[in-house]
């Protein structure tokens, strides 16, 4: 008789739990070096494999998605709906984060930690300005964009190539067939790498818990709790409402089928690396292949609801540490800046710190105070990346239903 294999979500969950247990054992027995030297390298290997496949997945899946639509008007329609969804959910995320942080701060739960934690040394990368950022989106060297895994540039390349192949018509048939064939090969490779996910989740979780346990138990637990409560509220209220009302799917089914991507994002802290898992989850939920192939790569780069919440919570916390009371006008500025900054945040681990520096600069708080939470940024990053990926999948589902409704109205 054939033995029934455990599903991928079950295997990832078991790996997650075992990682936490092993990490706690290593933390309390002072053997953190074991996880650093012998477990984390296996997680690094898995993440390297994901990074290796991310660029071809994004490039080929977007080209295949555009060609599957076979209509630039539909590409534009899906793009507009996707951007509108991301902007709305990110703005709501900012408000939730700011309200929760204000409640915690008003209750005196955000103490002044500057003396306890020592100097707040942190020098963020210099922000070059809006126009420089826009110019940088358009690549001057296609291979350099691939080499550096610049997701915004890869997406622009995919849009141009997909549109050009479509415009070429019959003469572009060879390129169309090549794109479809290459994507089929990459999909097979993607499935193989995804099946290694439990190993990566176990090793990374063991390492994180073993090395960061002290901070979890320390005074920074309050600001972490504020951020995670905000993450949970946003997921249960905003995404549940969206998938029920627009996606015509029960929240229970949505979170159950999206859980593999959520758990992997939680441990890997990379929206881009989670993309292959996200695509499988979106397909299981009924999202159209062409829509998901367009929305998910785009979302992994520009949809940063979790990052927006983090920025608002961290801003209020840092303001408290610096003995600065934010005015209503400054809070509104935080929401606007965090929303726009989050849209430009790349889907890689730790990128939220650069955007947090922008938010602090906008309201006049010393950027050096970011140093107060740098030590536990990865703990914030785990939750915010999980939320970002969940938002990507919900968007793919909602846009699918909107496009299906639009198609029915035309008939």
Would you say residue 57 has pLDDT above 90?
no
Would you say residue 80 has pLDDT above 80?
yes
- pLDDT tens digits, one per residue of 239-249: 999 999 999 99
In which residue are the tokens 């979106």 written?
A: 282
Instruction: Give the pLDDT confidence score for residue 349 in this predicted structure.
Output: 45
User: Structure tokens of 318?
Assistant: 């840092």
- pLDDT tens digits, one per residue of 292-328: 888 888 887 778 888 888 888 888 888 877 777 777 7
Rounded Cα–Cα distance for residues 148 and 115 (Å): 39
Residues 318 and 372: beta-carbon distance below 8 Å: yes
Instruction: Give the pLDDT confidence score for residue 130 in this predicted structure.
Output: 56
Q: What pLDDT band is residue 353 in, cutting at 50, 70 and 90?
A: low
Residues 309 and 230: beta-carbon distance below 8 Å: yes
Rounded Cα–Cα distance for residues 142 and 137 (Å): 12
Instruction: Give the pLDDT confidence score for residue 354 in this predicted structure.
Output: 58
Instruction: Give the pLDDT confidence score for residue 373 in this predicted structure.
Output: 67
Instruction: Give the pLDDT confidence score for residue 117 in this predicted structure.
Output: 42
Rounded Cα–Cα distance for residues 397 and 246 (Å): 8
Burial (CB count <10 Å: 0-12, 13-18, 19+), residue 121: exposed
Rounded Cα–Cα distance for residues 101 and 325 (Å): 13
Buried b / exposed e over 386-410, threshold 16 CB at 10 Å, is bbbbbbbbbbbbbbbbbbeeeeeee
| Collapsed DSSP state (helix, strand, coil) of residue 271 | coil
Would you say residue 214 has pLDDT above 70?
no
Would you say residue 127 has pLDDT above 70?
no
Residue with more model confidence, 261 or 362: 261
State which CATH number among 3.30.429.10, 2.60.40.420, 1.10.3860.10, 3.90.1570.10 fits the domain covering 8-410: 1.10.3860.10
Share of the chain above pLDDT 90, in %: 18
Rounded Cα–Cα distance for residues 139 and 132 (Å): 13
| Collapsed DSSP state (helix, strand, coil) of residue 80 | helix
- pLDDT tens digits, one per residue of 386-400: 999 999 999 999 999
- Alpha-carbon distance values, 128 to 46, 133, 368, 398 (Å): 33, 7, 18, 35
Would you say residue 90 has pLDDT above 80?
yes
34-63 mean pLDDT: 82
Residues 370 and 124: beta-carbon distance below 8 Å: yes
84-110 mean pLDDT: 85
């Amino acid at each position: 008789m054939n033995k029934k294999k455990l599903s991928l979500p079950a295997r990832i969950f078991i790996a997650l739990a075992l990682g936490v247990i092993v990490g706690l054992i290593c933390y309390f027995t002072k053997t953190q070096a074991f996880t650093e030297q012998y477990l984390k390298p296996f997680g690094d290997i898995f993440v390297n494999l994901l990074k290796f496949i991310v660029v071809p997945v994004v490039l080929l899946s977007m080209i295949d998605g555009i060609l599957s639509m076979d209509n630039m008007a539909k590409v534009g329609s899906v793009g507009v709906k996707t951007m509108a969804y991301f902007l709305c959910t990110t703005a709501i995320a900012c408000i939730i984060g700011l309200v929760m942080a204000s409640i915690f701060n008003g209750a005196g739960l955000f103490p002044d930690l500057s003396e306890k934690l020592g100097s707040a040394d942190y020098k963020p990368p210099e922000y070059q300005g809006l126009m420089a950022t826009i110019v940088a989106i358009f690549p001057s060297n296609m291979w350099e964009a691939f080499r550096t895994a610049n997701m915004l540039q890869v997406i622009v390349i995919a849009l141009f190539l997909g549109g050009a192949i479509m415009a070429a018509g019959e003469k572009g048939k060879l390129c169309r067939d090549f794109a479809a064939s290459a994507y089929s090969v990459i999909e097979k490779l993607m499935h193989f790498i995804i099946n290694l996910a439990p190993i990566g989740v176990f090793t990374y979780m063991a390492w994180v818990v073993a090395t960061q346990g002290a901070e979890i138990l320390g005074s920074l637990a309050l600001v972490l709790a504020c951020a995670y409560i905000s993450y949970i509220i946003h997921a249960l209220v905003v995404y549940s409402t969206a998938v029920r009302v627009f996606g015509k799917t029960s929240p229970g089914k949505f979170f159950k089928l999206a859980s593999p991507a959520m758990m992997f994002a939680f441990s890997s802290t990379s929206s881009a690396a989670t993309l292959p898992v996200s695509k499988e989850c979106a397909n299981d939920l009924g999202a159209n292949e062409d829509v998901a192939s367009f929305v998910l790569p785009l979302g992994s780069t520009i949809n940063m609801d979790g990052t927006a919440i983090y920025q608002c919570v961290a801003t209020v916390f840092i303001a408290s540490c610096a003995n600065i009371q934010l005015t209503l006008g400054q809070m509104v500025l935080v929401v606007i800046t965090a929303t726009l900054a989050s849209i430009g945040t790349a889907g890689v681990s730790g990128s939220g710190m650069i955007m947090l520096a922008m938010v602090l600069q906008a309201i006049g708080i010393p950027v050096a105070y970011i140093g107060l939470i740098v030590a536990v940024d990865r703990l914030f990053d785990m939750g915010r990346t999980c939320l970002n990926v969940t938002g990507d999948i919900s968007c793919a589902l909602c846009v699918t239903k909107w496009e299906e409704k639009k198609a029915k109205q035309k008939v």
